[in-house]
Structure 1
Amino acid sequence: MVGINVAANLKRIRKEIPESVTLVAVSKFHPVEVIQIAVEEGVTEFGENYVQEAAEKINRCRDLELSVHWHFIGGVQSNKIKNIAGHFDLVQSVDNLSHVKKISEVSLEKNLTQNILIQVNVGDEKTKSGVSFKDLVSFYENAKKERGVLVKGLMCLPPLYAEISAKRKYFQLMKKYFDELRLEVLSMGTSHDYLVAIDEGSNMVRIGTDIFGEREKR
Structure 2
Amino acid sequence: MNQRQHSAIAENLQQVRERIASSAALCARAPEEVTLLAVSKTKPASAIEEAIAAGQLAFGENYVQEGVEKVAAFAGHQPPLVWHFIGPLQSNKSRLVSESFDWCHTIDRLKIAQRLNEQRPAGRAPLQVLIQVNISDEQSKSGITLSEVSQLAAEIAAMQNLTLRGLMAIPAAESEYSRQLAVFSQMTEAYNQLKQHYPQVDTLSMGMTDDMPAAIAAGSTMVRIGTAIFGARDYSA
TM, length-normalised to structure 1: 0.94
- Shift, 1:110, TM fit: 2.6
**For residue 69 of structure 2, what is the amino acid of its counterpart?**
E
The aligned residue for residue 116 of structure 1 is 129
Match of 1:38 among 6, 29, 51: 51
How do 1:80-119 and structure 2 match up within 5 A?
80-107=93-120, 110-112=122-124, 113-119=126-132
- Shift, 1:163, TM fit: 3.5
Deviation string, structure 1 residues 104-151 (Cα, Å, up to 9, x no partner): 1112x5344211000000001111000111211122122212222111
- Shift, 1:12, TM fit: 1.0
Corresponding residue SS for 2:55: coil
Q: Distance in 2 between matches of 1:216 and 1:161?
A: 24
How do 1:134-173 and structure 2 match up within 5 A?
134-161=147-174, 163-173=176-186
Consecutive unaligned residues in structure 2, runs of 5 or more: 21-30, 196-200
**For residue 68 of structure 2, what is the amino acid of its counterpart?**
A
Corresponding residue SS for 1:84: helix
Consecutive unaligned residues in structure 1, runs of 5 or more: none
- Shift, 1:161, TM fit: 4.1
Q: Distance in 1 between matches of 2:72 and 2:98?
A: 16
Identity of aligned residues (%): 37
Are the equivalent residues in 1 in contact too, given 2:209–2:225 (CA < 8 A)? yes
Match of 1:3 among 3, 6, 14: 6
Deviation string, structure 1 residues 13-49 (Cα, Å, up to 9, x no partner): 1112212211000000000111011011110100001
The answer to whether structure 1 residue 14 and structure 2 residue 17 are counterparts is yes
Q: Distance in 1 between matches of 2:207 and 2:190?
A: 16
Q: Distance in 2 between matches of 1:38 and 1:66?
A: 13
Q: What is the Cα-based RMSD across aligned positions, in Å?
A: 1.5
The answer to whether structure 1 residue 187 and structure 2 residue 199 are counterparts is no
Corresponding residue SS for 1:169: helix
How do 1:191-210 and structure 2 match up within 5 A?
191-210=209-228
Q: Distance in 1 between matches of 2:81 and 2:127?
A: 17
Q: Distance in 2 between matches of 1:62 and 1:111?
A: 17
Are the equivalent residues in 2 in contact too, given 1:86–1:114 (CA < 8 A)? no
Q: What is the aligned residue count?
A: 217
The aligned residue for residue 217 of structure 1 is 235
Structure 1: which 4+ aligned runs deviate by more than 4 Å? 63-66
Q: Distance in 1 between matches of 2:71 and 2:116?
A: 19
Q: Distance in 1 between matches of 2:60 and 2:9?
A: 16
Deviation string, structure 1 residues 57-103 (Cα, Å, up to 9, x no partner): 11222266563110000111111111111311110111011111111
Deviation string, structure 1 residues 176-198 (Cα, Å, up to 9, x no partner): 11111112101000011111101
Relative distance call for 1:63 and 1:31 in structure 2 (3 A) is farther
The aligned residue for residue 38 of structure 2 is 25
